[in-house]
Every structure is written in C-alpha cells, then in structure tokens.
Amino acid sequence: MDFLRPTTLAEALAVKAERPDAVPIAGGTDVMVELNFDHRRPAALLDLTRIDELRTWSDGDELRIGSGVPYVRIIEELGAQLPGLAMASRTVGSPQIRNRGTVGGNLGAASPAGDTHPVLLASDAVIEVASVRGTRMIEADDFYVGVKRNSLEPDELITAIHLAPAAGPQQFSKVGTRNAMVIAVCSFALSLHPGEKRVGAAVGSAAPTPRRARDAEEFLNHALDFDNPRPLLDSVKREFGELVSQAASPIDDVRGSAAYRKHALAVMARRTLGWTWQEFLTEEQACA
C-alpha cells in the first residue's frame, strides 16, 4: 500500500489522475474502520488533511464550504447561517468524531444513512468536484446514485459544498437508540424557502439513497400561504407526514424495520413542519 500526502489541491488532483485506485482519506471516520476490520485493502491512501484549500469556507451570495471542514467547525462557525446543516452535524457520532469527520467524507461514503445528506437535498446544495480535467458542479439531487455510490468519476475529488445561507427556518430530525454515537434509523430534513414560496424536504436512511420527498414538497408549496401565514391545520401536517412516508422505500435491517421507519418519518415530518412553520409565523409577526 502507498501513503500519498499531497499538500496542494493541484498536486492531489494530479495524484488522483495517476492513481485512480487511491482511496481519499480525511477524517478517517469511515475509511479507517474499513481498514481496521480488513474490509478494504486499497492500493493507496490519499491523505487530504494537509491541503489547506479544502479546510476553509468562504462567504458570499452563497457559502462555499471546503470538503475538509470538520463538523465541529460547521457547528461553531456556520450555525447561524446554516442551521439545518449545523443541526445534522451535531448529531454525528461524538465530539471526537465531529472533530475529525467532514461533510466531504459524508458525500464520499454516500451512505444512505449519512446525517448531512437530507439537509443538503432540502437546501439545494451543489457539490463541487474536481479533477485534472476541470471542475464539475453537481446538484445534490444528482449526486447520490445508489447504496454507498455517488456520481464521482475515479479521477475526481470532492472539493466543496455550495449552498445559500438559510432564508427561512430549517429543521433536521433523526431517530436513533440514544443521543450520541448513533447511525440514523431514519432521518428527515425540512427547509422553508419563503422568498420562493416553497419548501425542501428529504429523507435519510429510508431508501437506497438519501432522497427528496417531491410529492410532499409539492403539497406544501400549495398548502402553505407564505404571504399571509396562519397557524397550520392538523390535516395539513398529517397529509405532509403521509406523503413524506410514501417517499421512502425502506428495508428491514438491524437498526429498524421498514414499517417503523415509515411511521417515524411521518412523525418527524409532522413535527418539523410544526416547528419551522411556527418559527416562520413568529418571525413574520415580529416584522409586522
């Protein structure tokens, strides 16, 4: 096995072009587990932790977050601008894991249970990937293509995540057996986009890939009156929960049954809708 240690992105891309079999490693929270248990024996490891460009984020009309920014920094530095992503990041593993793990790693592993995926989908994130051939911008919706499979080419590296600062309330909800060190039984993210009078909603750990709940989004886009917001009818919450549940195609596995996941998704959808809409109402009243 080779251990490759580029110090610039250009160098890393050249290495990846030459050695497409090299497995990128940043926080190591997924890759090292596979190595420790001998589930994987790659020809080379490509250490990304020495590349400063990947460990920075920048402001603007939209935020560009380097793929190597660890969860702890998303929580501490970006919580106000990206509440949904920060909430999901807070549920990742433990302090030790959040100190090392990165959204780039979440995307690279592309586990259907990855905590940040539903937020990236609900917030219309765009994934920036690069190779010596150039840079591609991939919408989160097109990024996840199968169980632990993403749309990266073998010579590409994930370089950044682009997303707009929250323009409205956001929520993330996750079911697990305890509050820490839990892989999601299922998870759900909801983002209100009041300027565009629409919502983003996505489920995690309840289908072969993280996925948007499109029918549920459509339903809310019509049911919610962003111009004259009023308290929600229970029937709207129930219908939304039902549509979110229908968007999932979960399986029975060690973490939970398909039936439980469907039920829990409907509950999380109802609750997060209640919370986000209440927050929106309160803000609107404060402005009025």
Residues that bind other proteins (CB under 8 A): 1-3, 5, 25, 27-29, 31-33, 35-37, 41-42, 44-45, 47, 49, 93-97, 99-100, 179-181
Q: How far is the CB of 18 from other proteins (least distance, A)?
A: 17
Instruction: Quote the CA–CA distance of 150 and 54 in Å, as a whole number.
Output: 19
What residues contact 160, with CB distance under 8 A and at least 6 apart?
A: 54, 64, 65, 66, 67, 127, 128
Q: How far is the CB of 200 from other proteins (least distance, A)?
A: 29
Which is closer to other proteins, CB of 114 or CB of 168? 114
Which is closer to other proteins, CB of 9 or CB of 44? 44
Which is closer to other proteins, CB of 98 or CB of 237? 98
Q: How far is the CB of 37 from other proteins (least distance, A)?
A: 7
Paired tokens of 25 = 């490693």
Q: How far is the CB of 254 from other proteins (least distance, A)?
A: 15
Strand intervals (E) in 181-279: 186-193, 198-204, 211-212
Which is closer to other proteins, CB of 42 or CB of 79? 42
Counts for the chain of helices (H) and strands (E), in that order: 11, 14
Q: How far is the CB of 261 from other proteins (least distance, A)?
A: 22
Judging by beta carbons within 10 Å of its beta carbon (0-12, 13-18, 19+), is residue 239 exposed, middle or buried? middle
For helices 214-223 and 234-247, the axis angle rounded to 10 degrees is 160
Which is closer to other proteins, CB of 27 or CB of 256? 27
